[in-house]
Structure 1
């Protein structure tokens, strides 16, 4: 293959996978916002996702920007440059920001009773932090290099990428539903994972440096882990659990025969809002606005005034 053509194709694959993988974070955040709920979404997955992308961001930023790390890599790989590209850096940082935003949503939106950050996931994060501290101390003492710490962080990311999906797979299985888990997120993630692996293999082929794959194991592993779990989620969504009824969405209240009733949904929102309807007394005086619940508003918000 012509080197210039190969380089061009590599850049195209890189930016397309970056767009697909980056866009994959938005459907879940939008779904949470529209439902005002994170019910059906694994809290463990969200916390582990943030930790994983924090590690991945540090790894990519260091390999792309640090001349010291780049030199350490060359010494270990026969003078070859590492294969971290600008799109890898942008993707990792963007993913960290979006996953952190989704974590924030889990703190403000409605959850299921008992839907919380589990003890095993907490323990995993504590062990990860302690291990990072030990490797960092080894670097400071001179017994290890910075690249060793970065590889450790990359292995954390790879390990978390495998573990983090398991709670969501189990949650879908236990509820026999994928409601609350965005399938558009999965489709985009599958596209990004496939193209990410394709770019890495193409880069290695063009440069004749197949050690570039082993030199960036996290990118190669992430692609295959994403593809594997995405196939599981697509199987759950399109084949196993095809019931799409969302019992977690806000209740729509309607007036029927003078009585309020729920319209095909199960949960009653607890939000309140000001009722600015005008009520006039016989003497012509107007009542001040009242704070009423959505349930109370359902029966009266379409009547602008009422005579006593």
Structure 2
């Protein structure tokens, strides 16, 4: 795994290469600046930051670093940055030094006196943390819980295939789960890939960082795919006469009606498209609140967890615990405890999943340790 310092050092070069490939046949008079979007420093440390131009400038250019946000009243108590740097004539880069003092965040926008520079909204967000080691640990934890949550879908699919039956797997859970992950995918795709929505996010949160990463998009789309596999298995395997309940259909109708009405409000510009996407994240959170209840009740009614994979539960529990742990460590490392509530969907996923997973483990290992055998006995008696 590459450290954050190495990534930030090579970022301007990669962006410059991308620009050359994209605009090689475009207007040669347009000039672009590139700089790291975010720089993380350990308190009391120093770092060199490079600003790169897409082509050599034809005049000496002054680049001002305008501080627009600081987590503390005086940004200089967090970090020392120069007020301006000089990009000499016929050069393509300039490097300046920053010194971190105390934990906090500072956002600077780059302003230039060069009229040919086009991206005037370029910014650098400096984040000073207690420990870079803790930041690396957070990244490792993030990948572990991402893998745990992703892999957690497979034990149930394997269980269904091995038994050639979905008896014991609640259909209300399947329907609600599919809706939840479709909603979560819409939210992630919109914030990650749609430029107009990302622009709305930056306008509303000029000093914030997009909460959606590439692995979030992959996770949600992967989850939709596995949910569709579950439903396909339910269509071809033994189901025991089970079907989606009226209550679940009613809840789904409410959710999708809310989504359809909201899209008309967004088209009519009564709400922003960003708000529309956040509504989808709330649908996902609401689904997470209720989707496990039918499965818990089915296990109670059958006095068994047969057909409901405990492997799925254990991996989901691992992912939820690590997700919450990462939020706590990140909040401590940044002295920003509001980070825990900054992404309500992610926090809700972790918290509620853990609560229900504990309940499922209690049912499986304590309450209903022996699967019922009355069906097999009944068949033997009939013989």
1:223-243 deviation per Cα after TM superposition (whole angstroms, max 9, x unaligned): 001000000000000111111
Does the aligned pair in 2 maintain the 1:82–1:215 contact within 8 Å? no
Q: Corresponding residue for 1:27?
A: 155
For structure 1, the 5+ residue unaligned runs are 249-263, 269-308
CA gap 1:211/1:81 in 2 versus in 1, 3 angstroms = farther
Equivalence for 1:11: 139
Spell out the pairing of 1:120-269 with structure 2 (5 A cutoff). Answer: 120-244=247-371
Q: What is the distance in 1 between the residues matched to 2:205 and 2:193?
A: 18
Q: CA deviation at 1:209?
A: 4.8
Q: CA deviation at 1:35?
A: 0.4
Note if contact 1:44-1:121 (Cα within 8 Å) is conserved in structure 2. yes
2:203 is aligned, of 67, 75, 85, to 75
Question: Quick check: which one's strand share is greater?
Answer: 2
**What is aligned with 1:100?**
228
Specify the alignment match of 1:56 in structure 2.
Answer: 184
Q: Distance in 2 between matches of 1:208 and 1:73?
A: 24
Normalized per residue, which structure has more helix?
1
CA–CA separation in structure 2 for the residues paired with 1:75 and 1:153:
20
Whether the 8 Å contact between 1:179 and 1:246 is mirrored in structure 2 is: no
Superposition CA RMSD, Å: 2.3
Once the two structures are TM-superposed, the CA of residue 82 in structure 1 deviates from its matched residue by 2.7
Three-state SS of the structure 2 residue aligned to 1:126 is: helix
Q: Is the alpha carbon distance of 1:15 and 1:206 closer, same or farther for their aligned partners in structure 2, counting shifts above 3 Å? A: same
CA distance in 2, matches of 1:79, 1:52: 30
The more displaced of 164-173 and 123-132 is 123-132
Aligned residue for 2:193? 65
Partners in 1 of 2:149 and 2:224 — Cα distance?
12
Corresponding position of 1:287: none
- Residue-by-residue CA offset, 1:127-160 (whole Å, 9 max, x unaligned): 1111111111111111111111111111111111
Structure with bigger RCO (C-alpha 8 Å, 6+ apart): 1
Relative distance call for 1:246 and 1:161 in structure 2 (3 A) is farther
Q: CA deviation at 1:78?
A: 5.0
